[in-house]
């Protein structure tokens, strides 16, 4: 029975929930569109259509197109940083840890090619505060490499180590804009060997297999 303060038109409010699967669909669709068409040629309506949701649904997850871009880049860097931290904190030799860092970077360049393409081309479109925050995360990731290379290459000074690390990662990411046509395992092997060669580390050393990690 209604009380004196209730109206026949009153409806109990149900809190809206954000669907994680929908958010992921939006991010995947945005990465693909941005990689193919560029930041300025893609609108929120385009992203919504590609993700199979309405424009209003996108704004429940992201307040703007730049917020979508920030979420994409956070995912890229957070995943790399998490894996690198896990490798460095585990009980591996420096040689094994480096092999795993290299392999993870190669796998990421292959499996997340679209996201990395968007990152390299579109980061300048972010607000300055977000760019700085993402750059800080990127530096943390690179420091994991620097620490290990410094141990393996005591003949190098710090600036040389950092230069080598950047060169090795650039070598790996050179596949982003090149379709080799190679089988996946062969591509992993070649790019891992190339990165280790750039670093001046024995490419014949083998990292633990994924099943034996930690």
CATH number at residue 191: 1.10.357.10
Q: Is residue 26 part of a domain?
A: yes
The pLDDT of residue 16: 46
Q: Is residue 39 part of a domain?
A: yes
Domain boundary among 63, 92, 120: 63
Residue span of the structural domain in which 90 resides: 66-206
- 40 with 88, same domain: the answer is no
Q: Is residue 213 part of a domain?
A: no
- 92 with 183, same domain: the answer is yes
The pLDDT of residue 203: 56
- 39 with 123, same domain: the answer is no
- 33 with 72, same domain: the answer is no
- 116 with 154, same domain: the answer is yes
Q: Is residue 114 part of a domain?
A: yes
How far apart are alpha carbons 196 and 204 in whole angstroms? 9
- 79 with 99, same domain: the answer is yes
Q: Is residue 51 part of a domain?
A: yes
- 178 with 189, same domain: the answer is yes
- 172 with 155, same domain: the answer is yes
- 30 with 118, same domain: the answer is no
Domain boundary among 9, 29, 63: 63
> Could you give phi then psi for residue 177, rounded to 5 degrees?
-110, 20
The pLDDT of residue 206: 52
How far apart are alpha carbons 7 and 185 in whole angstroms? 67
Q: Is residue 52 part of a domain?
A: yes
Could you give the angle at which helices 65-89 and 113-122 cross, rounded to 10 degrees?
A: 120
Residue 186, both tokens? 């062969």
Q: Is residue 182 part of a domain?
A: yes
Our count of domains for the chain comes to 2
Domain boundary among 7, 41, 63: 63
103 in Cβ contact with 191 (< 8 Å): no
- 118 with 178, same domain: the answer is yes
**Mean pLDDT of residues grouped by 10 in the chain (214 residues)?**
46 48 89 88 92 85 90 88 93 95 95 84 88 93 96 96 97 89 95 96 57 48
The pLDDT of residue 19: 64
- 121 with 46, same domain: the answer is no
- 123 with 174, same domain: the answer is yes
CA 41 centroid distance within chain: 22
């Amino acid at each position: 029975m209604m009380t004196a303060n209730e109206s026949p038109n009153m409806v109990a409010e149900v809190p809206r929930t954000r669907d994680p699967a929908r958010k992921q669909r939006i991010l995947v669709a945005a990465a693909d569109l941005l990689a193919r068409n560029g930041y300025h040629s893609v609108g929120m309506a385009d992203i919504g259509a590609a993700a199979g949701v309405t424009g209003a649904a996108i704004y429940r997850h992201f307040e703007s197109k730049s917020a979508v871009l920030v979420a994409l880049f956070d995912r890229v860097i957070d995943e790399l940083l998490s894996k690198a931290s896990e490798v460095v904190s585990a009980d591996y030799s420096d040689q094994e840890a480096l092999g795993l860092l290299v392999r993870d970077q190669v796998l990421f360049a292959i499996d997340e090619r679209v996201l990395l393409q968007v990152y390299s081309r579109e980061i300048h479109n972010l607000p300055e505060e977000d760019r700085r925050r993402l750059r800080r995360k990127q530096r943390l990731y690179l420091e994991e490499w620097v620490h290990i290379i410094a141990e393996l290459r005591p003949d190098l000074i710090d600036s040389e180590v950092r230069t080598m690390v950047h060169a090795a990662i650039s070598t790996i990411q050179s596949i982003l804009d090149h379709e080799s046509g190679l089988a996946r395992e062969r591509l992993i092997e070649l790019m891992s060997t190339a990165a280790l060669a750039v670093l001046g580390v024995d490419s014949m050393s083998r990292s633990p297999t994924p099943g034996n990690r930690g």
